[in-house]
Structure 1
Amino acid sequence: MKIPSPTIIKNERGYALLVAILVLSLVTMIGYAAVRTSSVELQISGNERQIADNFYDAEGGLVDTLENTGTWMTTAFLTAAETTANYTGTVDVNGDSTDDASVEVRCIESTGTDIGTLSSAANDLPVMSHTGPPPSGSGCSIKYFIVRRYGVTSSNTAGNVQLQVGTWKLFNKN
C-alpha cells in the first residue's frame, strides 16, 4: 500500500473552499433565474388570459346578436330607411348581470351613409346593395325571395376588441 506524500496532505490553500463557493454561486444564480422566469411567465400568461377573455366577450356579443335577431330585427328597424335603420344594445355573455359587450347593427347599403349614433367601426362597412337575390346554392328561388344585408359590430366593454360581421336574412318578395 502506498502512503500519500505528507506535503499533499498538509496543503490547505483553500482550493476546496473556492470550488464550494463557485458551486454555491452558480446554484444561487440558477435559482434566481428560475424564480424570475416564473414570475415573468405568470405575468405573460395573465396578459394572454385577459386578451382571450376580451376577445371571447366581443365574440359572445356577436354570436348572441346573430342568434337572437328578435332583439334588433323589429318592425321599426325593418320599416326604417336603409340609411337610418340601426340598433345599439349590450349583451351579458356570461350571465353575471354585468354587460360584457356592446353591439351595433345597421343595414349594409349602397351609398355608404354614416349614421351619427353609431361608432366609426359600425359605419365602416362595404358599400353594396341592401337587397338582392338569394345566394346561388341556397335553395331559395329568386322569383319568390330576396335577401337583406346587415352589418353587426361587437365590442367588449373595455373597447379594446372589436369584431364585425356581415349577415343576410331571407325575406319573401311580396
Structure 2
Amino acid sequence: MVYITKETLEKWYKDSQNSRVDKITEHSDFMSSSNEPKCENEAFKKIERLVKVRDRSVAEVTMRLEKDSYSSECIHSAVQRALRCGYLDDVRFADVLIRSRLRARKGLAGIVSELKRHGINPEVQLPNFPDAYLSLFPSQKDSAIALLCKKPPKSKNKLQAAYAKLVRSGYSSSLASEAAREWYKTQE
C-alpha cells in the first residue's frame, strides 16, 4: 500500500490545473491563427457529406457551398481537394446520369439540357457522345414508343397528348411527333 501526502496531492492538483490552462490557450491560439485551413476543412467535410448521399457535379457542389456562405478561395481549394481524392468527377457523374436517364426512357435532348444545367458539356467532355450510350440502349424512337405503351396518355386527343408526353420526357419534337404517330396507328 502506498501513502500519498497532502503536499503531493496539492502539487499534482496544481500541475493538472496548469496543464489545462496551457491546453486551453493552445486551443484558442490554434482557432484564431489561420481561419483559411479551417474553412477549407469545413467546406471539404461538407462536400464529403453531400457526396455520401449521391454523386454530384462540380458546379452543383460549388453552388451549394456558395449558398452556405463559404468564401470563393475556400470553395476553390476544397473542390480541388475533392477532385484529387476522387469525390468529385464530372465525367463519372455525367456517365451515371446519362445511363440512368436512358434506362428511364428519357429523351436525349432532355438529358443534354440537364447535363448543361450541371455545368457539363457532353459533346466536349464525354468521348463518343451520344453514340457510345445510344448503342447500349434501344433506339430513341423505340424507347419513346415503349414509354407510350407502358404509360399511355389519357386524353380525348391521344395523338396530341402522346406528343406532349414525349416532349416533356425530353425527346426532340421531330422524334416525338414521329413516335407519337407510329404509336397512334397501333392504337386504332
TM bracket, shorter-chain basis: 0.3 to 0.5
Return the index of the structure with the highest Cα Rg.
1
Higher strand share: 1
With normalisation by structure 2, the TM-score equals: 0.32
With normalisation by structure 1, the TM-score equals: 0.34
Higher helix share: 2
